[in-house]
Chains A and B, each alone.
Chain A
Amino acid sequence: MATLNSIKNMYGICSHVIRQTTGLRAAKLIQQRAFRVNGALRQQPFDSSEEKPQFPGASAEFIDHLEFIQPNVISGIPVYRVMDRAGKIINPSEDPQLSKEQVLNFYQKMTLLNTMDRILYESQRQGRISFYMTNYGEEGTHIGSAAALDPRDLVFGQYREAGVLMYRGFPLDLFMAQCYANVDDLGKGRQMPVHYGSKDLNFVTISSPLATQIPQAAGAAYAAKRENTNRAVICYFGEGAASEGDAHAGFNFSATLECPLIFFCRNNGYAISTPTNEQYRGDGIGKTGSTLFCLGSRSVCVRCEPRILCRAVAENQPFLIEAMTQATRIGHHSTSDDSSAYRSVDEVNYWDKQDHPISRLRHYMTARSWWSEEDERSWRKQSRKMVMEAFEKAEKRHKPHPDLMFSDVYEEMTPNLVKQKEAMWRHVQQYKEHYPLDAYAK
């Protein structure tokens, strides 16, 4: 990411910045959002009588001695958190006062995601699906941030946000369908596993290239603003993706064009094998003095997120949340990765055992007698059964009809593609014993 001062100068607006970490707290759902058009900061009119820098965007004073601003001297952005490692609320006034029902829902969604992850990861190892990416350690971030959103808010993700979809109600059958690329896949079997999408749930289909969703989210937020329906946009990405040029573009556009948007950076310490000290300098991707209000939140979102969303929509400003998720990605990057090649198993085990969002939320619930050992046992059994049933069903389904290879390239099928499709079928009919037609829908 660009240096903090150049961002500060470029974006032109300085704001108070805090970073936060939370425990496993999901925020209150937003009841209502005030929406008003905010007169954004305009350029100051030119006034040569003033003894101040008179160039566009300036808000500083002259000084007469050379002074270096040392990035390392400025202390890091504080990290906000609500709950400690043992699941206790640290500051009672920050307790989001969630109901037992809400918290149980969060816990069940998080653990269901975890179960689905473990089963699908194993299924890839057994050669049953081609690829998978787990969400270990980030379950809280997904569920918490999703809980703070309105169902109409548009979600742009990267690829490690399955919990957001799960929270919104994407059924296990459809997760499995996408991973198996079977006939029920909403994406019509075209993409690798975990590239989910759902129009009904306002979750834009995932694409593999990183950070491409960031400027797109800014554009979507701008359009949503003009719609005038109090819709916001949230954009997820990892700390690695934040190094892409697209990230800079997206941040800058969202600020200058005043888009009601939350940027949610999942900082899990690694981009495949690359640790954060090789990804950026500083204590996170959020930097002091940038336009975007910087908030890092540890694990689940975000006690403050509904407050942020309200402000994002009301003031048409982008906000950046940097979630310091457990300080390390617990799983491998994907099924194609063996992270023992670049980090210690001990490090991973520490975060997994001592500081996992699922265990913390469980401590919180058991402390209130909302969840017993018996509840845990029976839920484990039930959730595993649900996942296995969806899994076995998905595995038996056919693959989509091969005609779907040719549709949706454009809205209408071009004559060229019609010809290619016909040629393909002529060929496959003639050489049918060499093509796995039985596995595909007729």
Chain B
Amino acid sequence: MAAAARFLLRGAVSKAPIANVNVGAQSSFGITLLRLSPNCSSKTKTQRRNAAHFTYHPDPVPTEYGPTTKMNLFQSVTSALDNTLASDPTAVIFGEDVAFGGVFRCTVGLRDKYGKDRVFNTPLCEQGIVGFGIGAAVAGATAIAEIQFADYIYPAFDQIVNEAAKYRYRSGNLFDCGNLTIRAPWGCVGHGSLYHSQSPEAFFAHCPGIKVVIPRGPVQCKGLLLSCIADQNPCIFFEPKILYRAAVEQVPTEAYTIPLSQAEVIQEGSDVTLVAWGTQIHVLTEVANMAQEKLGVSCELIDLQTILPWDTETVCKSVAKTGRLLISHEAPITGGFAAEISSTVQEECFLNLEAPIARVCGYDTPFPHIFEPFYIPDKWKCFDAIKKLIIY
């Protein structure tokens, strides 16, 4: 369910023949032209919604998975789903509006290619979508459920936490829904406000039995999604919606997997360990550059990728080396996943730490609309946190 469907991230240019659709309403009451009044400027800072808070840093072209082609994030999702439907005859994709291609175009073309019994709309009901998906998985199908926005996943919380996560355990391994993957758009998008910006990974991190995965770009996305689909545990795959169009890389056309529960050291460094996932990786990439240039500080940047079960070894090994840790996420700081990382790291690396672990996160408020520029853990807040880590 959604009040807003597809977000046009590059401003308000419409591809729709608006004139055609509205002409009746207009003609019944006259065409109204909206002209820019000479007195008002539409270019004030808050109205330039095209300006994102990050710069996208593409992965290098992968060479080990065969030929590649240019894809953005939503196309890398389509590609993964396409590979899956081609190779696995039991695979089905379902959710709200997936038939025409989905509100973020992740399923474009799949229904025509594979049939309406395999790519189909469900009624508007998240608890139904996930419950149905669990059942399909239990009966042996590869079930790929789409929740239209992560902000709307909560009606399905009972099915995910009480059912999907516990299916194998409670049945003594007689039954499981490992064939279930749930996908949902995730994270801030510039103007999403309370219900189109949320990052709910912390709610699910508290639930043994499921896996939670978040990619930073198209190459990672396709490989991680295919791993989730192959993985014999129910997985939740959050896709950073602000990257759907903004993130463009060369992505292998064939299927490939990137292992779950293995954090990736994107950039090695010696002074500070930076940990994040999803969009925030790109914020921290820029911060690492700023730290090097302005402070002479060498940062090691780690993309956690899998939130649950998370790769404690890679993170702790890094902190043992650097002695300083900064974790950053958009979700509110209290009870956010940085708290779990921080807690484990101080257990494992207490004597290695040169400074308290820093968390740069959203505030403990709902995600605000017009205050987003002040709310998000932007590069300046992260940079400032590194400064404090260094001089501690």
Q: Are both chains from one complex?
A: yes
From the candidates A210, A356, A431, A438, name the one contacting B24 in the complex (CB within 8 A).
A356
From the candidates B11, B37, B195, name the one contacting A209 in the complex (CB within 8 A).
B195
Give per-residue flags for B143-177: 1 if the beta carbon is below 8 A from chain A beta carbons, else 0: 00000000110110000000000000000000000
B313 interface contact, C-beta 8 A: no
A119 contacts B32, C-beta separation under 8 Å: yes
User: A93-101, A254-262, A393-401: which one contacts chain B?
Assistant: A393-401
A29 interface contact, C-beta 8 A: no
A371 to B251, CA, bound (A): 63
User: A41-49, A226-234, A317-325, A342-350: which one contacts chain B?
Assistant: A342-350
B63 interface contact, C-beta 8 A: no
When A417-B363, A431-B384, A436-B46 are in contact, do A125 and B14 touch as well, CB less than 8 Å?
A: yes
B366 contacts A123, C-beta separation under 8 Å: no
A126 contacts B12, C-beta separation under 8 Å: yes
B78 to chain A, nearest CB (A): 15
Q: Which residue of A lies closest to B380 (CB)?
A: A431
Q: Which residues of A contact B378 (CB under 8 A)?
A: 434
Chain B 187-217 residues near chain A, CB threshold 8 A: 190-196
Residue total for A at the interface (Cβ-Cβ under 8 A) = 92
When A189-B371, A190-B370, A420-B364 are in contact, do A336 and B123 touch as well, CB less than 8 Å?
A: no
A338 to B100, CA, bound (A): 11
B17 contacts A118, C-beta separation under 8 Å: no
B19 to chain A, nearest CB (A): 11
B148 to chain A, nearest CB (A): 8
A159 interface contact, C-beta 8 A: yes
A216 interface contact, C-beta 8 A: no
A159 to chain B, nearest CB (A): 5
Q: Which residues of A contact B97 (CB under 8 A)?
A: 271-274
A427 to B382, CA, bound (A): 11
A122 contacts B364, C-beta separation under 8 Å: no
A72 interface contact, C-beta 8 A: no
A244 interface contact, C-beta 8 A: yes
A184 interface contact, C-beta 8 A: no
A404 interface contact, C-beta 8 A: yes
A202 interface contact, C-beta 8 A: no
A334 interface contact, C-beta 8 A: yes
Q: Which of A207, A352, A392, A424 has the most CB of B within 10 A?
A: A352
Residue total for B at the interface (Cβ-Cβ under 8 A) = 84
Give per-residue flags for B1-36: 1 if the beta carbon is below 8 A from chain A beta carbons, else 0: 111111110011111111011111111111010101
Query: Interface SS of chain B: helix, strand, loop or mixed?
Result: loop
Q: Which residues of B contact A198 (CB under 8 A)?
A: none
Q: Which residues of B contact A121 (CB under 8 A)?
A: 18, 22
Chain A 208-235 residues near chain B, CB threshold 8 A: 208-211
Give per-residue flags for A118-150: 1 if the beta carbon is below 8 A from chain B beta carbons, else 0: 110111111110110100110000000000000
A361 to B382, CA, bound (A): 59
B380 contacts A192, C-beta separation under 8 Å: no
From the candidates B21, B126, B152, B155, name the one contacting A332 in the complex (CB within 8 A).
B21
A124 contacts B12, C-beta separation under 8 Å: yes
B321 interface contact, C-beta 8 A: no
Q: Which residue of A lies closest to B120 (CB)?
A: A278
B21 contacts A159, C-beta separation under 8 Å: no
A142 to B381, CA, bound (A): 46
B385 to chain A, nearest CB (A): 10
B22 contacts A336, C-beta separation under 8 Å: no
B140 interface contact, C-beta 8 A: no
Chain B 53-81 residues near chain A, CB threshold 8 A: none
B115 interface contact, C-beta 8 A: no
B45 to chain A, nearest CB (A): 4
Q: Which residue of B lies closest to A338 (CB)?
A: B16
A9 interface contact, C-beta 8 A: no
A337 to B48, CA, bound (A): 21
B26 contacts A118, C-beta separation under 8 Å: yes
A244 contacts B25, C-beta separation under 8 Å: no
Q: Which residues of B contact A164 (CB under 8 A)?
A: none
From the candidates B155, B334, B384, name the one contacting A430 in the complex (CB within 8 A).
B384
Q: Which residue of B lies closest to A409 (CB)?
A: B365
Q: Which residues of B contact A330 (CB under 8 A)?
A: 21, 24-25
Q: Which of A127, A334, A430 has the most CB of B within 10 A?
A: A127
A192 contacts B193, C-beta separation under 8 Å: yes
A209 to chain B, nearest CB (A): 6
Q: Which of A208, A274, A330, A353 has the most CB of B within 10 A?
A: A208
Q: Which of A159, A333, A405 has the most CB of B within 10 A?
A: A405
Q: Which residues of A contact B25 (CB under 8 A)?
A: 114, 118, 136-137, 330-331, 352, 356, 358
A189 contacts B45, C-beta separation under 8 Å: no
A331 to B14, CA, bound (A): 14
A162 interface contact, C-beta 8 A: no
Chain B 205-234 residues near chain A, CB threshold 8 A: none
A335 to B370, CA, bound (A): 18
When A123-B34, A125-B18 are in contact, do A209 and B101 touch as well, CB less than 8 Å?
A: no
A436 to B368, CA, bound (A): 15
Q: Which of A130, A246, A279, A427 has the most CB of B within 10 A?
A: A130
Chain A 363-390 residues near chain B, CB threshold 8 A: 380, 384
From the candidates B24, B195, B364, name the one contacting A207 in the complex (CB within 8 A).
B195
Could you pull out 17 A-B pairs where Cβ atoms are within 8 angstroms? A124-B12, A125-B13, A125-B18, A126-B36, A131-B4, A137-B25, A190-B194, A191-B369, A192-B4, A271-B124, A278-B121, A337-B103, A338-B14, A348-B24, A395-B40, A396-B39, A427-B381
A-B contact sample (8 more), CB < 8 A, given A125-B13, A244-B1: A128-B42, A130-B191, A208-B195, A335-B12, A339-B16, A358-B25, A405-B365, A409-B366
Taking Cβ atoms with an 8 Å cutoff, the residues of A that contact B are: 111, 114-115, 118-119, 121-128, 130-131, 133, 136-137, 159, 181, 189-192, 194-195, 207-211, 240-241, 243-246, 271-274, 278-280, 330-342, 345, 348-349, 351-353, 356, 358-359, 380, 384, 392, 395-396, 399-400, 402, 404-406, 409, 414, 416-417, 420, 424, 427-428, 430-431, 434-436, 438-439
Q: Which 7 A-B pairs have the closest CB atoms?
A: A352-B24, A208-B195, A130-B191, A436-B45, A243-B123, A181-B370, A189-B370
